[in-house]
Amino acid sequence: MNQPSLLLTQGDPAGIGPELALRAWMLRKERALPPFAILSDPAFLERVAQSQGWDIPVMAVETAQIPDTFPKALPVLPLSVSVSAQPGRPDAGAAASVVESIETAVRLVQKGAASALVTNPIAKHVLYEAGFRHPGHTEFLAALASDGRDQTYHPVMMLWSEQLAVVPVTVHIPLADVPSALTTDLIVLTGRIVARELRERFGIANPRLALAGLNPHAGENGAMGTEDGSIIAPAIDMLRQEGIEAAGPLPADTMFHARARSRYDAALAMYHDQALIPIKTIAFDEAVNVTLGLPFVRTSPDHGTAFDIAGKGIARPDSLIAAIKLAARLGAA
């Protein structure tokens, strides 16, 4: 009996997602990739391959056919709408295919027809033009996961690589809004989710968390801000009381060199750039975006749609390949 395979969403068809999926399939043997299918329009993917001069067979399949098809052709789960997009020219008219790809993939993963979900990048501003009402990709996935259930989910973004894993406690908000958005409860909730998923999905028996301070020098005992002592320190105490190994608040400028990284399994940063600058410096091409706190595995390449290079054949598939491999690993946990 075939094991469930991975599903890739289409992403914005005018971006680099479709061509990266095609390139990943071409490298399937060299990179030892597990079977996957992409939810898109087979004719559109054939046109993308032809535009690059790639001789890639594309085959429409059902989920049960993915493992047998994967060695000889790129398996595609067809959407109900056709896709027509020009590289680098985002169009709100493609929003229906983007949304359907995500919705269908989530439904299939939740019913057990696939083991994990890998999402290609979307452009939120394009979806907003078509009436998309969610703040972002991750929030949409959380809403889909909760649909028809009594439980709601708090998604947590982790950027993961073999060298470093980081979690921003506050994510896509202006820097000026971070101090008011940062609460002890939010830090504790995030720490709980990270510790649980490191145990259950990553197989780390006793996860070690390092929490960054918000201010320079973690506040310098209040001389450079009071949030580190009044908000972050109490959260660390609460996590420790729950049996979670948590250190901090630590000065962020000394947390990310190799010797410091050996002391923890994941770093919790207080805002977006505090987390993403170090990992994109250390592992720019290999980092993977992992969503924790959902009832299914979701990974994504750590880059955007890259409209400026779409269709030029120069986009590197390394992050997508890393996302596929990590999704397979976590989906088997």
Do the annotations mark residue 172 as ligand-binding? yes
Note whether residue 99 is domain-resident: yes
Compute the C-alpha angle 170/176/178, nearest 5°.
20
For residues 96 and 186, membership in a common domain is answered with no
For residue 37, tell me if it sits in a domain: yes
Residue-level pLDDT at 215: 94
pLDDT at 1: 39
Domain boundary residue, one of 280, 304, 323:
280
Considering the domain architecture, whether residues 119 and 194 belong to the same structural domain is answered as no
Ligand-binding annotation for 217, yes or no, is yes
Q: Is residue 234 part of a domain?
A: yes
CB 324 within 8 A of CB 6: yes
Tokens for 175, please give them.
């820097």
pLDDT given for residue 224 in this prediction: 84
> Is the distance from CB of 97 to CB of 108 less than 8 angstroms?
no
Tens-place pLDDT, residues 50-82? 999 999 999 999 999 999 999 999 999 999 999
Q: Which helix (H) or strand (E) holds 187?
A: helix 184-200
Q: Is 72 annotated as a binding residue?
A: no
* 63 shares its domain with 133: yes
Neighbouring-strand partners of residue 289: 159, 300
Q: Would you say residue 290 lies in a domain?
A: no
Whether 230 is in a domain gets the answer: yes
Q: Side chain identity at 23, as an amino acid letter?
A: R
d(CA 303, CA 84) in angstroms, rounded, equals: 23
Whether residue 307 sits in one domain with residue 207: no
40 and 121 share a domain?
yes
The pLDDT of residue 139: 87
> Is there a single domain that holds both residue 21 and residue 127?
yes
- 306 lies in the same domain as 178: no
Cα–chain center distance at 83 = 24
DSSP β-bridge partners for residue 299: 118, 290
Q: Are residues 33 and 142 in the same domain?
A: yes
Q: Find out whether 257 is annotated in a ligand binding site.
A: no
Residue 267 belongs to what domain range? 163-280
Q: Are 134 and 147 in contact (CB under 8 A)?
A: no
**Residues 219, 197 share a domain:** yes
Report the CATH number that the domain containing residue 215 is assigned in CATH. Answer: 3.40.718.10
The radius of gyration of the chain from alpha carbons, rounded to an integer in Å, stands at 20
Q: Are residues 116 and 24 in the same domain?
A: yes
Q: pTM above the 0.75 mark?
A: yes
Residue 138 labelled as part of a binding site = yes
Among 224, 216, 221, smallest CA distance to 255 is for 216
Domain assignment of residue 286, yes or no: no
* Separation CA 34–CA 46 (nearest Å): 22
Name the average pLDDT for the chain.
93
pLDDT in tens, 243-281: 999 999 999 999 999 999 999 999 999 999 999 999 999
Q: Residue 138: count other Cβ atoms within 10 Å of its Cβ.
A: 21
Strands (E), the chain: 5-9, 36-40, 58-60, 74-78, 114-118, 156-160, 165-168, 208-212, 245-250, 266-269, 288-292, 298-301
How many domains are there within the chain?
Answer: 2
- Residue 158 inside a domain? The answer is no
Same domain, yes or no, for 269 and 300? no
Query: Which of the listed residues 256, 280, 304 is the one where a domain comes to its end?
Result: 280
Write out residues in the chain with pLDDT < 70, as ranges: 1-3, 148, 150
In a domain, 289, yes or no: no
CA distance 321 to 300: 10
The closest alpha carbon to 156, from 197, 188, 119, 190, belongs to 190
Report the phi/psi class of residue 165: left, alpha or beta, with left for phi > 0 and alpha for psi in -120 to 50: beta
137 marked among binding-site residues:
yes
Whether residue 199 is found in the same domain as residue 148: no
